[in-house]
Amino acid sequence: MYREYLKQYLETKKTTVKSSTLKTYAWLIEYHIIPLLGDHEIGKLSPAHIQKFYNGLIEQNKLASENVQKIHTLINDSLKRAERWQLVNKNVAALVDRPRMTKNQIQVWDKEQSQTFLWAAREDRLYIDFLLALTTGMRQSEILGLRWADVDLGNKTLHIVQALSHEGKELTTELKTRNAGRKVAIPGEVATALKKHKSRQRGEFLILGRSGNNDDLVVSTSLGTPVIPRNLMRTFIRRLFLSV
């Protein structure tokens, strides 16, 4: 059955993709591909089966088009490998067109909305994260992975060299963007806010009997550990309601 083969296929990906990517693949395979295609014999899968599956995903509109395309990539790659291993006569997924990519319109806060939110969050210990997000365009993962060693307050620049994983468990230098390792200029008021934040953070560390260093994360818990993204989102939502 295709479900058993997909589990074997996923095992082969462990040595070729990042752990975060592997988790995404596992989620797509377990919760989306296997429930609808898993009971087919791998040698009897047809282009019609796969096209009907794609049509259903698009009609239900439960997945972003980016994830639908990832599903196509997984099915195509898995059957291509099955063909090389002589488990099927041909890769039938290659006969099915890749689902079309659609882009959702992104709504961006204007200057007044940004300032209103920042004012509401000004006393929050995660304020610096929100400020950096609204003034630099950095990804959330990049902000949460930023170290003091990456901050040049004299030249008012930030050096993007690592990021925090979606689960908040791993710091990685394998960044997504082509501009990985880039430098980001910051306004003077952001540099001032960073100095204030650093002083506050060092005070928290001194209470715990430890001194700060350049390897410390700019955005961290009071213990100096990474801030888990989902906890950051909870704080953001709470502050968002206070700003309206």
208: three-class secondary structure by DSSP: coil
Question: What is the model's pLDDT at position 81?
Answer: 95
Percent of the chain with pLDDT over 90: 62
Percent of the chain with pLDDT over 70: 95
**pLDDT tens string 32-57:** 999 999 999 999 999 999 999 999 99
CA distance 157 to 166: 25
Average pLDDT, the chain: 89
Q: Is the pLDDT of residue 118 over 70?
A: yes
Domains, the chain, ranges and CATH? 2-95 (1.10.150.130), 111-243 (1.10.443.10)
Alpha-helix residue ranges (DSSP H) falling in 29-64:
34-37, 47-60
pTM score over 0.85: no
Q: What is the pLDDT of residues 122-135, one digit of tens each?
A: 999 999 999 999 99
Q: CA dihedral in degrees (139, 14, 30, 97; nearest 10)? A: 80
Q: How confident is the model at residue 177 (pLDDT cuts 50, 70, 90)?
A: low
pLDDT at residue 175, as a whole number? 67
| Mean pLDDT value of segment 194-214 | 89
φ, ψ for residue 171 (rounded to 5)? -100, 130
